Every structure is written in C-alpha cells, then in structure tokens.
C-alpha cells in the first residue's frame, strides 16, 4: 500500500482545518476540472470514533466546505459530492491510518496471506500498529495489499 501525504492533495491543507473545526476529519479530497463544471468529491469521518454520522453532519460540512473550495478554485461552476466513510470504507492511501487512530480496521497482510484486524494504535509514514486481542502488531505498508475501516 502506498503512503501519500494528505497534505500533498490539491487544496487539502486549506480545507482540512475547516473540516476539523466542525468536528470531523477530511479523509479524501478529489477535484476534477471539466469543460464547464469542476467536480469535487470529499470524504469525511467524525473525530470521535464513537459518533455515528448522518445526513445532517454531511450537510453541515458541505455548506462550509463548498464556498471555501469555490473561492480557492475561483469559480462557482462546481458540483460537490460529500460522503462519510461508510460502514466498510476501503482504505486506499496509507496516510488514512493516522486519521483512523482508535478505530477498528482490517488489513490483508501479504507476509501471512491473511486478514489481520485490530484497533489502530499509531501510524507513521512506514507502518501501522494495531492493538489485537493477542498483543500489538506492527504492519509495514509494503506488506498491506488491502485495508478496510470497520464501523462498529
């Protein structure tokens, strides 16, 4: 699995503090310019792992984030889809593990060719440490083939 710093995503550094101020983390941000309309896709998750998200949460972030992005893009010709991580969010970027600290995840560890699950204790640019029933396990991103956030 590849680690790509979230700070390198276009406009992420300008938008993440706004989202965090509302009580959420910005998990992903994609901006795709089109001929007439720029398409924006954003994924958020609550800061508190015990909180369940609803439509009102997404709407609150949407109302704050869209004007910020339109100002940064210099256009109001945009559409924006904002969603939560959902029940079993596929983790595509290893940088997301830091956001999911304190939450349950499953990773396919190629070194043992099996799924390993546990609570994320810590994550850095090289590996994630999971708290498991039989102790803690450090898994390098190089050995992770797939990963999923598990909603409890």
| Mean pLDDT rounded to a whole number for the chain | 92
3-state SS assignment for residue 61: helix
- Residue 81: which of 68, 65, 94 has the closest Cα? 65
* Residue 89: Cβ within 10 Å count: 22
Q: Which residue has the tokens 């850095």?
A: 124
Q: What is the mean pLDDT of residues 55-61?
A: 94
pLDDT digits (tens, 9 = 90+) for 21-50: 999 999 999 999 988 999 999 999 999 888
How far apart CA 73 and CA 78 sit, in angstroms, is 9
State how far the Cα of 101 lies from the Cα of 29, in Å rounded to an integer: 19
State the DSSP code for 48: S
pTM of the model: 0.88
Q: Rounded CA gap, 117 and 105, in Å?
A: 6
pLDDT at residue 34, as a whole number: 87
């Amino acid at each position: 699995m590849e680690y790509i710093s979230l700070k390198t995503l276009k406009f992420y550094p300008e938008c993440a503090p706004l989202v965090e101020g509302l009580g959420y983390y910005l998990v992903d941000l994609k901006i795709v310019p089109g001929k007439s309309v720029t398409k924006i896709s954003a994924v958020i998750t609550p800061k508190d792992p015990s909180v369940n998200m609803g439509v009102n949460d997404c709407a609150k972030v949407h109302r704050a984030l869209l004007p910020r992005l339109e100002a940064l893009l210099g256009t109001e010709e945009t559409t924006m889809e904002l969603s939560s991580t959902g029940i079993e969010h596929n983790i595509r970027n290893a940088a997301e593990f830091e956001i999911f600290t304190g939450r349950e995840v499953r990773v396919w560890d190629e070194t043992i060719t099996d799924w390993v699950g546990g609570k994320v204790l810590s994550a850095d640019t090289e590996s994630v440490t999971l708290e498991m029933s039989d102790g803690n396990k450090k898994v390098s991103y190089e050995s992770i083939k797939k990963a999923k956030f598990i909603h409890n």
